[in-house]
Amino acid sequence: MTKFHNILAILFFSILIINGIYKYTEKGIYNSYSQWDLKTHIESFQWMMEGRPQLAPDQPQLFWPPYLPLAFPIFDCFTQFDWQVLRVAWLIVLCICIGLMILYVLGEMAKTDNLFSWKQAIPLTTVLLLFKGTFLSLAAGQISLFVIFMIFLFLYFQDRNPAVAVFALAVSTIKISLSLPFFAYLLLKRDYGFLGWSLFAAAAINLLVTFFYLGPLEHLNQLMISLRELEPLGVNSYLNMGASGRVDLAPFLALLRIRGHFLALALTILFIAGLIWIYRHLREMDDRLLLVNLVLLFFVMLYHRAYDLVLIVWLALPLIWMVRHQITFGYILLMLPLALPIQWIFRTGIETYPSLAFFWHFIGTSTAISIFALGFLLNRKHPKKSG
């Protein structure tokens, strides 16, 4: 390792840790403002169930995310509780999810390194907790974190208890953008039995739920409305890319003036090319690298925000640990946005030096570059599968 490499690595983790400590101490995961996504999603759920009535001019715009029907009984249950009780209970649930996921990640790292010790586990756990995606998920009360936990549950029980794994993967379809790569993973592994049962369970549960709420056709209609409302966010105006908080590729391409139908075409071509590349190199990948590659591909091609980074970073960490001694200066530099407080830099920069708008929007959309860099790193440095 070069001197500059060591300096940049120290800088990377210093920024991540300082940013994390600042967020937990100054902003906190439990205060009068925290659990904001949980609160707005409950309000949006009630508004949507009332038929999306016209809002008063002084009311903030409500938006129901494109969740599958299985989310409805969860949010319906949330509405039955006092807000102060609910926000505490939900935060406890998410903290338990975080704790169990950390144990899973550390266990996977121990499998990849016979010399891995619990002395190393302590600083790694600290990094996972201080990671900005972890903080955002806890502070916002994001259901994405619960969905990611169900995905980790699927991975843990896949070879231990298939029935539990099938159920966990079915439940994770609440947020289909996060669970889709895992269905693709089963398909490419040719585990058709597991895939069939998982698809059946997901379809059956979601279809059954529709009959208790809006009915199948109206659920589909609401899903299409949500997708249409979601599509332009961060890509419909030059002033919105860096401000959107999105971490997928669309805002970055929009910054390069690729928008509208051209944006959809570009994302489709890149997605198909990525799938073809994965298929052509399938025999060289072990299951862990295949899974991470699929998650990376779906992540940059579909709508995702910073709290979804928990899935991609935590899932890739055991593989990153395996190749840690081969991470060069350039890779660290490209992955720096994963540690940086991107939105704070964007807002401060655009307010202070508006004439440098393109640069600040580039910073605001740079996480997509980091995800690509992570993919290149793992595929270039990870040992090829023998045979």
pLDDT in tens, 141-199: 999 999 999 999 999 999 899 999 999 999 999 999 999 999 999 999 999 999 999 99
Q: How crowded is residue 133: how many other Cβ atoms within 10 Å of its Cβ?
A: 24
The tens digit of pLDDT for each residue in 83-132 reads: 999 999 999 999 999 999 999 999 888 887 777 777 888 888 998 999 99
CB 302, CB 177: distance < 8 Å: yes
Of 177, 170, 178, which Cα lies nearest the Cα of 207? 170
Q: Length of the chain, please?
A: 387
The helix/strand/coil state of 49 is: helix
Of 119, 103, 364, which Cα lies nearest the Cα of 238? 364
In DSSP terms, 305 is beta-bridged to 246
Number of alpha helices (DSSP H) and beta strands (DSSP E) in the chain: 19, 0
Distances, alpha carbon 81 to alpha carbons 45, 74, 75, 217, 349, in Å: 14, 12, 10, 29, 41
Amino acid found at 146: F
> Measured between alpha carbons, how far is 349 from 352 in angstroms, rounded to an integer?
5
Please name the residue that has the structure tokens 């908080």.
245
**pTM value?**
0.93
Per-residue pLDDT for 234 more than 80? no
Angle among Cα 377, 382, 383 to the nearest 5 degrees reads: 155
pLDDT at 239: 59
Each domain of the chain, given as residue ranges in start order, spans 3-53+67-381
The helix/strand/coil state of 71 is: helix
The helix/strand/coil state of 2 is: coil
pLDDT tier at 238 (50, 70, 90 boundaries)?
low
> Measured between alpha carbons, how far is 181 from 375 in angstroms, rounded to an integer?
15
Of 330, 275, 320, 327, which Cα lies nearest the Cα of 297? 275
